[in-house]
Structure 1
Amino acid sequence: MHLNKSHLNNSRLSHSHIDSDRAPLDEQPRVRVPRQWRRLLETVGVVGSLFLGGLGTGYFWSARNAEAQALRQREDHLAEIARLRETFDTSLKALAVRVDQAAGTAANAALTAGEAASTAQTAAQTANQAAKSAAKEMKKP
């Protein structure tokens, strides 16, 4: 098989003038990205996937932790409300006993005041009668 120079030149010329829009894929010129750029893209892809994977995992765990924290906080709030209600009930019962005692004391004081008023009225009547008697005796010559 003998190739002459003219055949090679014609072959090169014919390939350089191929309409790339209509040529089959295997006859189209192939453009390759330089090796440094390919390595850079691979590195960016690997580092980016690691970063995004870590970001997604962190978001998932923090969301899960936030839900657990919210549930714990809700339970703590309900327990605190129950504790405050119990303390309020205990205080209210203690105050109710004291209010009943104070009401009894006030009733006794009112009774005593009523008796004192009655005694004072009786004493006033007695003093009034004594004054009238004394006035009558002074009028007697």
Structure 2
Amino acid sequence: MHSDSDSAPLEDLPRVRPPRQWRRLFETLCVIGSLFLGGFGSGYFWSTRNADAQLLRQRSDHLAEIERLQRAYGQRIDRAAGAVADAAVATTNAAMATTNAAEAVGEAADQVGTAAKTATSAAITAKAAAKATAAAPVPSSAGAVNSTIKRANERLQGGRP
């Protein structure tokens, strides 16, 4: 049998090999690719570990900052609550003082009203007493009145008749 024919069995066919340059190119690409993929893989592994550590660090920093802010604003709120409580007490005291003052004014008004009633009744009593004790006018004669008027007129005119 001829080994050059196409009808020969597959075991007898010559083996076709790629040229040496192509094989070297393929080997070089495999080495470079494995280096690249190895670097990529190790870089990925390193960056994920670093990112995990960074996240843990950031989380603890954020929790510390939140605690600090809560403490600071809690103190402010406590101070403000104290001031509000003091203002509430002062307002209550002012309201009580106003109520007491209003009651005192009401009592004074009642006393003034009572005094006014007493003064009115005293005035009525005094008027009645004055009427009762007043002397009745004495009737004078018409001649006496005329002579008094003449004398007054003479004085006004400077002694002329």
TM-score (norm 1): 0.76
Is 1:107 the counterpart of 2:92? The answer is yes
Deviation at 1:67, TM superposition (A): 0.6
2:47 aligned to which of 51, 58, 62: 62
Is 1:44 the counterpart of 2:29? The answer is yes
Kindly report the root-mean-square deviation, in angstroms, between the aligned alpha carbons of the 2 structures: 2.1
Structure-to-structure mapping, 1:1-141, within 5 angstroms: 14-17=2-5, 19-21=8-10, 23=11, 28-140=13-125, 141=127
Q: Could you say what secondary structure the match of 1:14 adopts?
A: coil
Moved segments of 4+, more than 2 Å: 13-21, 133-141
- 2: CA distance between counterparts of 1:68 and 1:78? 15
- 2: CA distance between counterparts of 1:20 and 1:68? 64
Unpaired stretches in structure 1, ≥5 consecutive residues: 1-12
Q: Could you say what secondary structure the match of 1:88 adopts?
A: helix
- 2: CA distance between counterparts of 1:56 and 1:116? 87
- 1: CA distance between counterparts of 2:65 and 2:99? 50
Q: Percent identity?
A: 47
Unpaired stretches in structure 2, ≥5 consecutive residues: 128-161
Larger Rg: 2
